[in-house]
Structure 1
């Protein structure tokens, strides 16, 4: 190029040429290498077809780099371990990535440790000391990238790193004679019982329960996302991102709570009819919220062996799938190789003439991050919602289903969980968040006075006595369980009535209805008798008393809503959209 034009190529062009030449060189090396494929320092399923993979492998386009492991005997051993694991099905390609990452950490730790070889130490006590030192080394490590950069590794990351190393050595101990022969290293034959389990019960900590606090997308943020999804599919020249596939993938994640890999790797025709009537798409004018399931969606269950791989879907989802099928057919007809049939519904945009590459989850996460920045989508605390963590859609759907009263075992099947253990995490988080939200609000009586009961005791009382006659549309009834109500509907004149600011919309609506009822009855009384209804009228006096009580309660709650004396209205998981009218009314008054 310099000879022809007198200029050097642009940086991007030069980079593309380097990438192309590097790939060509690797392909040439692969073709000429007659040795075992597993001894290569770089494993790339795209370049080496002998690497055993599942039919649908989420990490199938990503290479594993063993050359980052500097200790020779360790590098060769992890290669052999991964090769045997893939051959036998004991390991998946995704697990190979994770296990190799753990060995890289161990390799860095070994620098300067002067270990004698694969057996690590001359006796069991030495192995024990070394592995405790490694545990301390991992605990002291910091996250190098992402939102937690600079912080210590999470307990889950610590367990994965130490656990993967322990699993590797347990395998090598069980197969020590084969390892010594295959790797031509007699050091592996010296492994003993001390190498099968490095850590005692409790030393790695208990299995951390997934933390869902802050992972639920609130209603306001979700509404902005759904309203702004059109930008993903809008052409670039019109101010959008020009990616219809990203728009539809995000819609399916938000509606179904499926993992991003499960959506990206859908079959070209993933819909199964529920009945002989076939599939029904959403018709013009139909409300998506009123549609019952009309089909089943088959997805690739790559996370849990033996887990469910279908989910019920409604006509809105069927419509989205049909739209993507039409787009994919047009796209592949223009850019695909003649005679080829695409393997996936959502197609990678580049290097995909055979249609065997699914849409990249990394591309989607980058687009969602840019979308959130453009729309300035923020959560209730004012923080920018990090939508590149697409699992938040799954957390949100799961919590919403449980909040709507869907039985646990049904939610378990919907999420594709093999056991209810993981599903219970959502249920437990939902209940603890609901309790925290209950405790936020100041509780008052019908006379607008503070309740002389500890809020936690009050919450326990209400939960232990969940009778239908204790659940009120505008608060709670604190009548003891063995007593019956003699007040009828006169809750606002009863000292057992309690409420808080989360019921403000209901209380305000009740006050308005009471005022309207008084006007209607007084007008009817005047028409029938020709006289005004006197204030001494028993019915009117009762309604006036209720109206005045509502006024006092509303004024008190508007002045001090929360237990800490502030008036901020915040929505959380397990709480319906009651706080929207509170906020809107407050803004209108100002």
Structure 2
């Protein structure tokens, strides 16, 4: 074989694939010349400058495959580079006429080998080498998505048997309707050890087909850890020892744990320490792979053939699972690392016009995330027609304000709700974006609210989350956004806006089940995980508990006391003019004599009610004493039972009002927003602990 002969990739082409490709191609796309007669040809080929696709001089199979790849690009919305396809056809035809070895199929053609052929044919015809830019373009056009799609179409084996997986190129891959990682792929073929590589494909493919794992889970975590497992195993002296001796399973698992914990082996961490959760996830994924092979031992021999997996026993996966350590523990008292404070939001708002000039879509996506707390994927895949009128009790509760129902792309929990109520500000952002899309894609029926701006002639692709994150990362570097402590803020970490929105709703006093519904979580525990424990809000809530007893003296609560009041949040302890601190297990025998009760407290939020009650009490005393005087001809005695009670209530009200007017506290209105500035008071945070038994 000559040194410049074409080498081929190991993936074989289907024997009957030619008929399959011809069945996919319309009549206009078959033959040696394909061109302007096709509807939309000029609009989707090199910005209207393209001539015909010329495939003369090629065998039927190569001609059909090149035409199929160009047709796939055409349907996918990518502009077809006719000149590049023509030059590829010319290079292949030159190899045939010059007596050089030609590939059997474009699906088995190796990129590096073809580039050598292309340079040789170019030099023989023009007397010079092609530019590097031309070579790079060939790599993108022929050996990217089009070739991957061709390989998948010609493949007769299960889809998971291929080395590269991508839903865009292989429709056989099972993915959810709203799959946030639809535009991303993974490459199990990167595994170095053959018997490990085939096991990874079989395991991950079966988990995906059975619904045990989703495409997002496979691509974001499982495949990452499985490939890392292969890298670690390749560094050992004898990889087959993994399955041979069960007694060494513990030592091997410990070795993998140490290797996984080393930041040097995880380039994505950039030298940062590896979290305990990540290490546990890696061990768990490998143990799942081993358990899967043990549970399907007979099928393993059929699918993978003879391999070291035949020696695997139930002991190895059990031992590897034991390496998973418990990461229990309470979080810090203050946890606001994912909270975007007002200082940061002010900078973001100031810089939004700059972002809008370069990328108006990203600006509106960022606004929606800030205003609604949706995930980035839920905004990226949002439908174009995502607004509907709010009806029923929602309209009544809005009290005349404009509200609408926003349907977002719920992408994580299939059973969770996918709509929330939004105000006029959110509606304005969405309507502005809808008009922008209609202007950019005239004559089409847009599917997504935020379409991909390039390689999307049909307008059927949404903006990808990685591309959105890249835009925000560049924007945050330009405007140099920092938080109130001077720390840089990377806007590409958009999930912090979700934390912030849920935290602010929680601080407004929304019940947990309402937070869960708004966030679209499966359980309230996850919703509370999103609520930042901010020191500022803790102190505000602490100061807001300043109360007054019936004798006008102030009641001081510690933070633990305040939390306890929230835990015993009983409706029967809320009075029209204050609160009852009677323990929940005790009953009240005083009737309505709260003003003279030692466990009655109130605050300045009830000032108007108490003042009105004082006025009514004084009027009642004056009216009844005057009636007594007129009836009996003498004043009502001071020891009269009724007068004693009313006088005590009047005196208690007078003391309460005097105390609250002389020492105003920090009342809370409605959902709990403080309406006045902080009041300097002395708070003893030690005494209540010392007096406890």
**Under a length normalisation based on structure 1, what TM-score does the superposition of the two structures give?**
0.68
Tell me, what secondary structure is at the counterpart of 2:441? helix
Pair 1:459 & 2:559 matched: yes
CA 498–327 in structure 1, closer or farther in 2 if over 3 Å, else same: closer
Tell me, what secondary structure is at the counterpart of 2:428? helix
Deviation digits for residues 316-347 of structure 1, max 9, x if unmatched?
222222222222222222xxxx7x64432210
Tell me, what secondary structure is at the counterpart of 2:388? strand
CA 9–208 in structure 1, closer or farther in 2 if over 3 Å, else same: farther
CA 311–17 in structure 1, closer or farther in 2 if over 3 Å, else same: same
Deviation at 1:38, TM superposition (A): 2.1
CA 227–498 in structure 1, closer or farther in 2 if over 3 Å, else same: closer
1:302-313 paired onto structure 2 within 5 Å: 302-313=411-422
Which residue of 153, 166, 174 corresponds with 1:44?
A: 166
CA 76–504 in structure 1, closer or farther in 2 if over 3 Å, else same: closer
Q: Give the structure 2 partner of residue 246 of structure 1.
A: 362
Tell me, what secondary structure is at the counterpart of 1:94? helix
Which residue of 258, 271, 275 corresponds with 2:374?
A: 258
Q: Give the structure 2 partner of residue 175 of structure 1.
A: 296
1:332-351 paired onto structure 2 within 5 Å: 332-333=441-442, 341-351=445-455
Which residue of 210, 213, 232 corresponds with 1:109?
A: 232
CA 294–26 in structure 1, closer or farther in 2 if over 3 Å, else same: same
The answer as to whether partners of 1:141 and 1:152 remain within 8 angstroms in 2 is yes
Structure 1 Cα separation of the partners of residues 462 and 360 of structure 2? 14
CA 378–186 in structure 1, closer or farther in 2 if over 3 Å, else same: closer
Pair 1:419 & 2:523 matched: yes
Alignment RMSD, CA only? Answer: 4.1
The answer as to whether partners of 1:217 and 1:396 remain within 8 angstroms in 2 is yes
CA 392–495 in structure 1, closer or farther in 2 if over 3 Å, else same: closer
Q: Give the structure 1 partner of residue 65 of structure 2.
A: none
Q: Give the structure 2 partner of residue 213 of structure 1.
A: 336
Deviation at 1:187, TM superposition (A): 3.9
Deviation at 1:115, TM superposition (A): 4.7
CA 409–6 in structure 1, closer or farther in 2 if over 3 Å, else same: same
The answer as to whether partners of 1:262 and 1:300 remain within 8 angstroms in 2 is yes
Deviation digits for residues 33-69 of structure 1, max 9, x if unmatched?
4444322211122222222222222111222112321
The answer as to whether partners of 1:291 and 1:314 remain within 8 angstroms in 2 is no
Deviation at 1:208, TM superposition (A): 7.5
Pair 1:192 & 2:292 matched: no
CA 175–355 in structure 1, closer or farther in 2 if over 3 Å, else same: farther
Q: What 5-or-longer segments of structure 1 have no aligned partner?
A: 235-240, 280-288, 445-452, 474-483, 509-549, 558-562, 564-590
The answer as to whether partners of 1:159 and 1:204 remain within 8 angstroms in 2 is yes
Which residue of 513, 533, 542 corresponds with 1:430?
A: 533
Tell me, what secondary structure is at the counterpart of 2:143? helix
Deviation at 1:388, TM superposition (A): 0.6
1:46-65 paired onto structure 2 within 5 Å: 46-65=168-187
CA 270–143 in structure 1, closer or farther in 2 if over 3 Å, else same: farther
CA 311–377 in structure 1, closer or farther in 2 if over 3 Å, else same: same
Deviation at 1:206, TM superposition (A): 2.3
Structure 1 Cα separation of the partners of residues 418 and 541 of structure 2? 37
CA 392–301 in structure 1, closer or farther in 2 if over 3 Å, else same: same
Structure 1 Cα separation of the partners of residues 296 and 400 of structure 2? 56
Deviation digits for residues 347-371 of structure 1, max 9, x if unmatched?
0111112333211222222222233
CA 470–7 in structure 1, closer or farther in 2 if over 3 Å, else same: farther
CA 181–114 in structure 1, closer or farther in 2 if over 3 Å, else same: farther
Q: What 5-or-longer segments of structure 2 have no aligned partner?
A: 1-121, 547-554, 567-577, 580-600, 606-651, 668-672, 686-693
Tell me, what secondary structure is at the counterpart of 1:295? strand
The answer as to whether partners of 1:262 and 1:299 remain within 8 angstroms in 2 is yes
Structure 2 Cα separation of the partners of residues 407 and 247 of structure 1? 31
**Under a length normalisation based on structure 2, what TM-score does the superposition of the two structures give?**
0.59
Deviation at 1:412, TM superposition (A): 0.5
Tell me, what secondary structure is at the counterpart of 1:318? helix
Pair 1:388 & 2:492 matched: yes
Deviation at 1:170, TM superposition (A): 2.2
Structure 2 Cα separation of the partners of residues 59 and 196 of structure 1? 30
Structure 1 Cα separation of the partners of residues 409 and 503 of structure 2? 23
Deviation at 1:213, TM superposition (A): 2.6
The answer as to whether partners of 1:99 and 1:164 remain within 8 angstroms in 2 is yes
CA 143–47 in structure 1, closer or farther in 2 if over 3 Å, else same: same
Aligned residues: 464
The answer as to whether partners of 2:277 and 2:327 remain within 8 angstroms in 1 is no
Structure 2 Cα separation of the partners of residues 507 and 435 of structure 1? 15
**62-71 or 193-202, larger mean C-alpha shift:** 193-202
Structure 2 Cα separation of the partners of residues 37 and 461 of structure 1? 61
Which residue of 372, 377, 389 corresponds with 1:273?
A: 389
Structure 1 Cα separation of the partners of residues 603 and 266 of structure 2? 50
Pair 1:74 & 2:196 matched: yes
Deviation at 1:372, TM superposition (A): 2.5
Deviation digits for residues 468-499 of structure 1, max 9, x if unmatched?
546568xxxxxxxxxx8984345599999999
Structure 2 Cα separation of the partners of residues 184 and 79 of structure 1? 14
Deviation at 1:75, TM superposition (A): 0.6
1:377-526 paired onto structure 2 within 5 Å: 377-427=481-531, 429-430=532-533, 434-435=537-538, 458-464=558-564, 469=601, 487-491=655-659, 506=676
Q: Give the structure 2 partner of residue 237 of structure 1.
A: none
Deviation at 1:27, TM superposition (A): 4.2
Deviation at 1:172, TM superposition (A): 2.1
